[in-house]
Amino acid sequence: MRRRIFFAPPASASRGHLLPLPLSRFAHPAWARDAANYEVNIRQFTPEGTFTALLPHLARLDSLGVDILWLMPVQPIGVKDRKGGLGSYYSISDCRATNPEFGTAEELKAVIDSAHALGLKVILDWVANHTSRDHTWITAHPDWYTQRADGSISFPRNEDGTETDWTDVADLKYDQPAMREAMIADMAWWVQAMGVDGFRCDVAWGIGMDFWRQARAALLRERADLFLLAEAEGPKYHTAFDATYGWELHHLMNRLAQGKDSFPSLDAWLEKDATEYPANAMRMMFTSNHDENSWQGTEFERMGANHRAMFVLAATLRGSIPLVYTGQEAGLAKRLRFFEKDTVSWTDQSAAPFYRAMLELKSATPALWNGDDGGDQAKLAGTGPAAVYAFTRAEGTSVALVAVNLGTTAATYRYTGPAAPGDYRDAFTGATVVLGAEGTLTLPANGYVVLTR
């Protein structure tokens, strides 16, 4: 099935764009078609920071409307050249063990099994680009690592070939067939022994696509409905991954929220995405994650009063598989320290109804489903302030109308010609809204309207 995205023509154009997406290369797991992702930072999730302490929260996360629990790395953290007091989750010393600070493998398996009992999927953060500097491979297989001219082991590399400042980890060299096989065997162990439903692959951009295609083929022999998410952005990654990061969109949303960019840039991004990516490409869209929160700031710092309007876009734009990060539903307003204990406070749950409404709407509205299971997208014709952006998505009889106002005052958008006039339901109030062939939408300052039928 092909999906299309339509753009209203600029005033000077004789016609609009009608851009068919390229054909997809493989089918996604059926369970991912309407899924929303939740990133679990186990260290900071509870005062204990353990697998067992996470268990009582699973039912709450299920009721929030999430479908996938993405567990940040759970393996032991290296001691050599460790950063901070507790080290980076991404400096792993043993790929098949669990971090004793978090608990035992049996306790982690209890979390996975309990999540499955609730109907949740669990994907594990997988670090294939590098290991800690005291991983057993360092001494047993030094040829598996990138070495400098003096024989020392390199830090991971940037895309331009220069070394990063990730001084606690060692760069793996993927021209070693035995290392590749060992890495895939470790991933397969987590599928077989622990029952994970897939992987979020850290620094996927640092490893050649030939490895990721090899890994996908091998892992699908273990489980046919495995889900792979790449920490990378680019069409090529969709030859091996179900979903990729929407980094470019995220940075654009930061600028839009701050008034440093305008909606024609969003149209340009959507057109580029529709033109270059496979038809069923899933793009993970977000307003926060562990990197953004710790290093760039909370959504309140980066997006201010528009942070919810930006999440509305992240959850409803074509192709989106939305992400909620640990604590967002509790109004997390601090940067979590990355190498130290810094527990989230769950006292204030006032933001939870917003996220629950958006995620439940996503699941209940086929027009908003992920990849090409969702509906075509079209800008809603009309006039209004430059701070307002409105569009519809339609799949069969399912229709969603989304409008956001990034301005600091209330705004009126005068629309014409919605694809399906009639009775709609307001996703947040439950009220019935009648849309005629033309009319107005009233949006509060820094606000949004989401209507479905």
Amino acid at 333: A
For CATH 2.60.40.1180, the residue range(s) in the chain are 375-453
242 alpha carbon, distance to own chain's centre: 12
Quick one: pLDDT at residue 242? Answer: 97
Amino acid at 166: W
Task: Give the whole-angstrom CA distance, residue 453 versus residue 438.
Answer: 17
Quick one: pLDDT at residue 26? Answer: 78
For CATH 3.20.20.80, the residue range(s) in the chain are 23-133+176-373
Task: Give the whole-angstrom CA distance, residue 406 versus residue 20.
Answer: 30
CATH 3.40.50.150 fits domain 23-133+176-373: no
Quick one: pLDDT at residue 25? Answer: 63
pLDDT tens column, 35-84: 999 999 999 999 999 999 999 999 999 999 999 999 999 999 999 999 99
pLDDT under 50 in the chain at which residues? 1-24
- Tokens standing for residue 144: 């598996």
Q: Is the distance from CB of 199 to CB of 228 less than 8 angstroms?
A: yes
- Tokens standing for residue 97: 């063990």
Quick one: pLDDT at residue 420? Answer: 84
Task: Give the whole-angstrom CA distance, residue 68 versus residue 31.
Answer: 10
Quick one: pLDDT at residue 279? Answer: 87
- Tokens standing for residue 248: 């470019």
**CATH number for the domain formed by residue range(s) 375-453:** 2.60.40.1180
Q: Is the distance from CB of 415 to CB of 364 less than 8 angstroms?
A: no
